[in-house]
Amino acid sequence: MLLELDLKVILSGHGPVMHDPLAKIPELVRNRLEVDERILGIFQEVTEEVDALVARIYGETNERLRFLARHLVVAHLKKLEEDGRAFAVEPASSYRAI
């Protein structure tokens, strides 16, 4: 949807100013899709705890970053669930690939 707008600049809440957002948005989308695939690859045919996924994807992180990383992983899992590619065994706690 953002690509349909005549954007000149995007001011991100957690990153640098994007001066050419129409060139950057496809790269951001690709990165998000790659994380989806990475998550699916990690828990193929097993139930995976969210915190275990966070540890496998982000490794050792401080408490603040781990909190943020967990929210990102849960957002990806909810998207995968909406896409019919995963399901919650225990919502926001453990998921499994379909």
Both structure tokens of 56 = 């496998």
Q: Kindly give, in sequence order, each residue whose CB lies less than 8 Å from that of residue 50, ignoring residues fewer than 6 positions away.
A: 70, 73, 74, 77, 92, 93, 94, 95
Domains of the chain with CATH codes: 2-97 (1.10.10.10)
What H or E segment, with its residue span, contains residue 89?
strand 86-90
Of 21-25, 53-57, 71-75, 81-85, the least confident: 53-57
Q: What is the pLDDT of residues 31-66, one digit of tens each?
A: 989 988 888 888 765 667 888 888 888 888 888 889
Cβ-in-10-Å burial (0-12, 13-18, 19+) of 7 comes to middle
**pTM (2 d.p.):** 0.71
Output the pLDDT for position 83.
93
How many Å is the Cα radius of gyration of the chain? 15
- Widest Cα–Cα separation across the chain: 44
